[in-house]
Amino acid sequence: EEEEEEDKKVCLPGFTGLVNLGNTCFMNSVIQSLSNTRELRDYFHDRSFKSEINYSNPLGTGGRLAIGFAVLLRALWKGTHHAFQPSKLKAIVASKASQFTGYAQHDAQEFMAFLLDGLHEDLNRIQIKPYTETVDSDGRPDEVVAEEAWQRHKMRNDSFIVDLFQGQYKSKLVCPVCSKVSITFDPFLYLPVPLPQKQKVLTIYYFAKEPHKKPVKFLVSISKENSTAREVLESISHSVRVNPENLRLAEVIKSHFHRMYLPSHSLDSVSPTDLLLCFEVLSPDLAKERVVELQVQQRPQVPSGPITKCAACQKKQQSEEEKLKRCTRCYRVGYCNVDCQRKHWQDHKTSCRPQNIGFPFLISVPESRLTYARLAQLLEGYARYSVSVFQPPFQMGRMSPEQSLQPQLPDKQELPARSSCATVVSAAAASATMATMESGEGARAPHFLQEPQPSLSAPELQPEMGDSGAVRSKVPMGRSSLLSLDSGFSEPPLDARADVCMEKELPVERASKPEAAIPGYQHPVEGPSSHTIQFYINKIDASNKEQKLEDKGDTPIDLTNDCSLALVWKNNERMKEFVLVQSKELECVEDPGSASEAARAGHFTLEQCLNLFTKPEVLAPEEAWYCPKCKQHREASKQLMLWRLPNVLIIQLKRFSFRSFIWRDKINDMVDFPVRSLDLSKFCIGQKDEQQLPMYDLYAVINHYGGMIGGHYTAYARLPNDKNSQRSDVGWRLFDDSTVTTVDESQVVTRYAYVLFYRRRNSPVERPPRGPPHPTDPRAELAPSAEAAASQGISSPSFGTSLTPEVAPLLTPEEVTEHPTPSYSNMEEVD
């Protein structure tokens, strides 16, 4: 008979797949995982179970499930089938659990729990279950109460399934009103461990209070739900070693401060793509005086974009004589004449504001040091990290060292004559007009400042070659040329006489051919007027009115926390002194620890999940506990702790959350779990055996792919060695329905893991010896119906086959010969 079976082998033992009968991948993955549970496989394979079948248990199937499972396991390990149809087992399960009737998708964990519970009842050694009550501690030692509860459990439930899979946990309930403590010990078949909340990674740019320190880019991982700004501030605080009270968190949209977050503010609505800035501010305790915190935004004096048509009538510019004129408040739109402007004012006034560039920032200055010189120093220090500044020479004809080595342009490469360009009013008029508009007279349209300059005069910030052949070389200012690492400036303080109101217009020919500033090159000081004033500062009060700050040098300025500042870059090329500016990617350094932080986001460990499982939680109102002392239902604090660990530990990762019996969401985050040496010493509070630590090795994993409604199940499994669970008699394989392939151990830990199977080291479960049937075995009367049901009696689905004898290992004792014997045979082969 063995030779015949050997001849029929078409694959190695353990490489037989299971046919998908129609959305039965959930069942297939469970069966393959259990078939690689060493003790369970051997128990059914060598027929040890036959003497323990309980035919009279009303909670079981009369032995049909146990026999059907044994038939299936033998088919999977004979090697005579590439794939086997588990239709008979499915029919037996469906006869006891109607939810598994048909071919809908189900939860693999639910099927596993039902299958093991059904096998337990079929193999329960207890014929008549006595009545027992839950054991409460009542102040007695935990060891006594736990052992008493376990023995009471074994009085009703004693089977090989209990010996192999069931453990015990301690449940502690505390009444929030009277502090009554209730401690009970309950059995478990598997551990449903929660996953940490979904994580999101936020990018935070940190600015120190000293402007010479480059911003630092941090990646901070926080919960997607119920997260607050305090989590981010504490994370940054830990990294930069700054008190969280001295940090401010802000969200920036389009170069404006959109929101300042207090520590208690929720970050649930913040997306990982949002721009968040964190600023260190000076502590009043350190300054020994009041510290003024000021928000600063940056903008150019004149937008760089050309205007091609009237904003009101959409008429395009036809000739030089019909030039469009810019709005003097925002410089962003142009009009044919005053009539067009007045018609458009109602639509335009809500957006009539200058367009910011670069990053805004927050500065903090002691009240006694709040001077114009100090403000200018701080503002330039922070601003240069997010804008590129190009500076022309101070005097025409002066050559930088680099330019003196370059050939001169031919005379014919001149720009158009000044007469071809419209005249403009001075910047003083611009400032006056803007001040008028923003002082509350917004009901009427602003006056015009200037006509748009031709494209060659517009600050495009890129080297240009027009039809005239004129070339402008623009080299960014080096930070070292204007900024030192300690003070923020290497040149003398800004001169008050270079006020914007004193700027004078230059001919277009001179203004359009600036000499490039060379990084590190300092023009010699030839007088007070030779120093370039690159920006001016506006004060913006609480009512959004702007007023230009007067440069009083080192005289303190009276500013309050409710106002903010605008750094206005003087980029008007018509003026005597101007700079060319544009936004750039923030200059920053990356925090080296953030890479691991980003990797940790959505990447948890099994230890974290077990910590959450044993963490106290408050019961929901619908789960309220009846306090025997208060005589009322209370939302008590509940904590679960592991007391007795099983030999085979099954862990379910609770990836699905439910609402109204419908899968609401699935957590796809990675959970890193050990393949070898899972040490549960820190989680098991029960009596520990010094010789046998609770050390486990992984032998099977059920995976779920897809979303919360559908998806697909597969399994990884290996057959551990009988004596040493670290070794494998059959290595890791991937079971994907009827397909079985060999895989490497490194492939089994994935983000799709759903149910984990661990085997304890050095604690084999002794199988009952093969011997006579159960003492109260009524098999003489029940065997025909029970065993025939396993082989013949259950009407199978359309995919099923009838189990007629092919090879018939007898399940009945040898002395019972008058009844038909169940078979393990007629397993239809699928090639």
Report, as residue numbers or ranges, the catalytic residues: 25, 712
- Report the distance separating Cα 92 and Cα 234, nearest Å: 57
Rg (CA), the chain: 40
CB atoms within 10 A of CB 243: 12
821 closest CA partner among 70, 269, 303: 70
- Report the distance separating Cα 546 and Cα 548, nearest Å: 7
Helix-strand-coil split of the chain, %, nearest 5: 25, 25, 50
- Report the distance separating Cα 416 and Cα 467, nearest Å: 10
Angle at 426 between CA 422 and CA 427, to 5 degrees: 120
Do 522 and 480 meet the contact criterion of CB atoms below 8 Å apart? no
- Report the distance separating Cα 17 and Cα 10, nearest Å: 12
249 closest CA partner among 238, 235, 259, 239: 259
- Report the distance separating Cα 296 and Cα 250, nearest Å: 12
- Report the distance separating Cα 258 and Cα 255, nearest Å: 9
Sheet holding 167-174, edge to edge: 181-188, 167-174, 637-644, 617-618
Q: How many CA within 13 A on the CB side of residue 326? A: 27
- Report the distance separating Cα 627 and Cα 606, nearest Å: 34
**Who's near 12: CB < 8 A, 6+ residues apart?**
79, 730
CB atoms within 10 A of CB 808: 15
- Report the distance separating Cα 90 and Cα 508, nearest Å: 89
- Report the distance separating Cα 671 and Cα 605, nearest Å: 5
- Report the distance separating Cα 723 and Cα 741, nearest Å: 25
Print the SS3 string covering 550-578.
CCCCCCECCCCCCCEEEEEECCCCCECCC
DSSP code for 790: I
Rounded to 10°, the helix 25-35/108-122 angle is 50
Do 702 and 712 meet the contact criterion of CB atoms below 8 Å apart? no
E runs forming strands in 14-88: 17-18, 83-84
What are phi and psi for residue 2, nearest 5 degrees?
A: -65, -35
- Report the distance separating Cα 784 and Cα 778, nearest Å: 11
What are phi and psi for residue 175, nearest 5 degrees?
A: -70, 130
Q: Which residue has the tokens 């699928």?
A: 830
Do 38 and 759 meet the contact criterion of CB atoms below 8 Å apart? yes
E runs forming strands in 404-521: none
- Report the distance separating Cα 34 and Cα 48, nearest Å: 17
- Report the distance separating Cα 625 and Cα 493, nearest Å: 73
218 closest CA partner among 201, 207, 205: 205
Core vs surface per residue 208-242: b (16+ CB within 10 A) or e: ebebeeebbebbbbbeeeebbbbbbbebbbebeeb
Helices (H) and strands (E) in the chain, counts: 18, 35
Query: Helices (DSSP H) in 624-706: which residue ranges?
Result: none
CB atoms within 10 A of CB 416: 18
